[in-house]
Amino acid sequence: MSLIRTLSSRSPWLYRINAGSCNGCDVELATTACIPRYDVERLGCQYCGSPRHADIVLITGPLTARVKDKVLRLFSEIPDPKVTVAVGICPISGGIFRDSYAVCGPIDQYLPVDVNVPGCPPRPQAILEGVAKAIEIWKSRL
């Protein structure tokens, strides 16, 4: 049983949710997949287009009032077991947008966040580190 768990933990599929991000963190997320230097596929990860296929959710952005409901709905469409990673300081604390009337974050008021990767934006290695931490958590939930 633990073998199956170990084997299945080697296939974490990533899904990005942009909760009103400035796209800085999204670009860094794209580099982890698209730039050969960072190659997140080594960890067995692959970015998938559908929330139904996701295992590790990467959330960027401060959760603006306009996307809040959509993000929450999207999050509920991701099948268990799942792990949430907040990428960048915006989802973690609100960052520079904190206390704005248009921002509902920090995101952990609404969603169970597991790993935080601070940075504005975090460098790709830091994101890889966060994903590696998330895989460890995910393994314990499988």
Considering beta carbons, is residue 27 or 108 the nearer one to other proteins?
108
Residue 96 CB, shortest distance to other proteins, in Å, is: 5
Determine the Cα–Cα distance for residues 70 and 51; give it in Å rounded to an integer.
Answer: 12
Q: 124-141 vs 24-34: helix axis angle to the nearest 10? A: 80
Q: Which pair of structure tokens corresponds to residue 45?
A: 């990860």
C-beta closer to other proteins: residue 67 or 135: 135
DSSP sequence for 2-50: HHHHHHHTT-PEEEEEESS--SHHHHHHHHHHHSTTT-GGGGT-EE-S-
First to last CA, the chain: 11
Instruction: Point out which residues pair with 56 in neighbouring strands.
Output: 14, 83
Looking up tokens 């268990």 gives 80
Which residues between 93 and 132 bind other proteins (CB under 8 A)? 93-96, 98, 108, 112-120, 122-123, 125-132
| Minimum gap (Å) between residue 23 Cβ and other proteins | 15
DSSP state, 122? P
Considering the complex, state which of residue 67 and residue 91 has its C-beta at the smaller distance from other proteins. Answer: 91
| Distance in Å, CB of 31 to other proteins, minimum | 12
Q: Mark 61-100 with x for binding to other proteins (rule: CB under 8 A) and - for no binding.
A: ----------------x-xxx-------x--xxxxx-x--
- Report how many residues bind other proteins under the rule CB under 8 A: 57
Residues that bind other proteins (CB under 8 A): 4, 7-13, 36-39, 41-44, 46, 48-50, 52-53, 55, 77, 79-81, 89, 92-96, 98, 108, 112-120, 122-123, 125-133, 137, 142
